[in-house]
Structure 1
């Protein structure tokens, strides 16, 4: 499974990066490729490439604020959740994405 996404919180500092780390750790645990861009007070970090996006099965937006650049994801299944969901329940979140993608393939 290949997931790309964006994390961003209202202040653009702690929760943005905490969510990214939780998603990366959980993706590694599942054996998935997970690449997460952050949009915070320091601007965009860990920017997703066109190659990352093209290879993705799904896009995950974990944010409490508007994020920029979502037009890059046109045609990809997208899941949007509050940033706290990615921090508190990353395993449940990624399993729900897996279920959603499985339902789309049927």
Structure 2
């Protein structure tokens, strides 16, 4: 499965990058292709390309603030959670993504 997402916390420093790392590690461990963009105090990093967005099966928004460019994900299945969920339970979140996608089929 191809998973993309955005991590963004209120301060835009620690939780943003921890959420990104934990989600990418959990997704890869579960055998998925995963890319997480970060939106923080220094701007957007690892920006998702139009191709990545088009090919994605599902989008994870691990955010405590408004995600800029959310309209890019129009028509995609989106799961939104606080960054705390991505930081504390990334494996459970990936399992939830798998369940949501299984129901879709």
Normalising by structure 2, we get a TM-score of 0.98
Greater mean deviation of Cα atoms: 12-21 or 24-33 = 24-33
> 1:67 corresponds to which residue?
67
Aligned pair count reads 105
Q: CA deviation at 1:40?
A: 0.2
Q: CA RMSD in A?
A: 0.6
How far apart are the structure 2 equivalents of 1:43 and 1:11? 12
> Which blocks of at least 5 consecutive residues in structure 2 are unaligned?
none
Q: Equivalent residue for 2:25?
A: 25
Give the corresponding residue for 2:43.
43
1:28 Cα deviation (Å)?
1.3
Where in structure 1 do 4 or more consecutive aligned residues deviate above 4 Å? none
Shift of 1:101: 1.1
Equivalent residue, structure 1, for 2:55 = 55
Cα offset for 1:31? Answer: 1.3
